[in-house]
């Protein structure tokens, strides 16, 4: 008669593996139609806090035409950056001051829990005087750095390509991200920045406008880190199951 306990341990190991591969959940939604208010999903409200999406309106001021360089659109669900506030490069190393920023803080995780961030998604598009102009967006985080090779994602808009859906991969599948957004613990603060650059005949036109549209969403999940004794139990179950299987086959 075969004992069932080892098989129960094997089932437990498979269940843990299954749970770790579940799809990521929405953690924070930045409502760009509501002054960038960061709404934390109810299931994460005890472990994550988020401020507002900041287009740095005061820091960037107005351009020569008196238009606000960066801010929230009063007509649509987006935030913008005029070409009059950018340089030709969207890289921090160029000294550009044309960027938006948003951040989250982590607290309240249980002792055996960590937070994994998987992606940031948003719409990046350009409007207005887009003819003969190239718009560029670069995505950075202080968890990785702000040197040129630290760019987590980038997009160029020109010609017929002026509207894109962006999904910035924060998992180890993105070699730049590595494990910087995996296994986050209490007391961790993470800031993200979106830099803009423009080149071409309308690159200094107040009506050539970069936009981040709709809702901006940070996704991920809380993961339970098993105690060493749990790993030992899993390994014992796998070994016992293997032995029983060999006996049945022999």
Q: What's phi and psi for 239, nearest 5 deg?
A: -65, -45
Residue 243 has a pLDDT of 63
Distance of CA 196 to the CA centre of its chain: 17
Is residue 15 pLDDT above 50, yes or no? no
- 3-state DSSP call for residue 54? strand
Contact 117, 189 (CB under 8 A): no
Is residue 185 pLDDT above 80, yes or no? yes
Contact 70, 85 (CB under 8 A): yes
Residue in 186, 161, 160, 182 with CA at minimum distance from that of residue 171: 182
Determine whether 84 is exposed, middle or buried from the number of CB atoms within 10 Å of its CB (0-12, 13-18, 19+). buried
Residue 16 has a pLDDT of 45
Per-residue pLDDT tens for 83-141?
A: 999 999 999 999 999 999 999 999 999 999 999 999 999 999 999 999 999 999 999 99
Residue in 106, 116, 105, 108 with CA at minimum distance from that of residue 224: 116
Residue 226 has a pLDDT of 81
CATH architecture of 25-225: Sandwich (2.60)
CA-CA distance, 131 to 50, in Å (whole number)?
37
Mean pLDDT of 176-185: 98
Is residue 11 pLDDT above 60, yes or no? no
Residue 238 has a pLDDT of 67
The whole model's pTM is what?
Answer: 0.84
């Amino acid at each position: 008669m075969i004992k069932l306990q080892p098989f129960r341990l094997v089932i437990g190991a498979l269940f843990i593996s299954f749970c770790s591969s579940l799809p990521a959940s929405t953690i924070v939604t930045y409502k760009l139609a509501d002054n960038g208010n960061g709404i934390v999903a109810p299931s994460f409200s005890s472990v994550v806090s988020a401020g507002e999406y900041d287009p740095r309106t005061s820091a960037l001021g107005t351009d020569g035409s008196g238009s606000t360089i960066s801010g929230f659109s009063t007509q649509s669900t987006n935030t913008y950056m005029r070409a009059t506030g950018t340089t030709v490069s969207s890289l921090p190393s160029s000294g550009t001051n044309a960027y938006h920023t948003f951040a989250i803080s982590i607290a309240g995780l249980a002792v055996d829990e960590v937070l994994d961030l998987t992606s940031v998604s948003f719409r990046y598009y350009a409007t207005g005087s887009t003819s003969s102009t190239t718009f560029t967006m670069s995505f950075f985080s202080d968890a990785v750095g702000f040197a040129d090779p630290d760019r987590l994602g980038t997009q160029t808009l020109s010609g017929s390509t002026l509207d894109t859906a962006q999904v910035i991969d924060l998992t180890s599948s993105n070699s730049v991200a590595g494990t910087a957004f995996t296994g986050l613990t209490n007391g961790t603060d993470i800031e993200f920045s979106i830099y803009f650059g423009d080149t071409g005949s309308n690159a200094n036109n107040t009506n050539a406008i970069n936009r981040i549209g709709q809702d901006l969403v940070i996704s991920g999940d809380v993961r339970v880190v098993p105690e060493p004794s749990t790993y030992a139990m899993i390994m014992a179950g796998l070994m016992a199951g293997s032995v029983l299987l060999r006996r049945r086959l022999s």
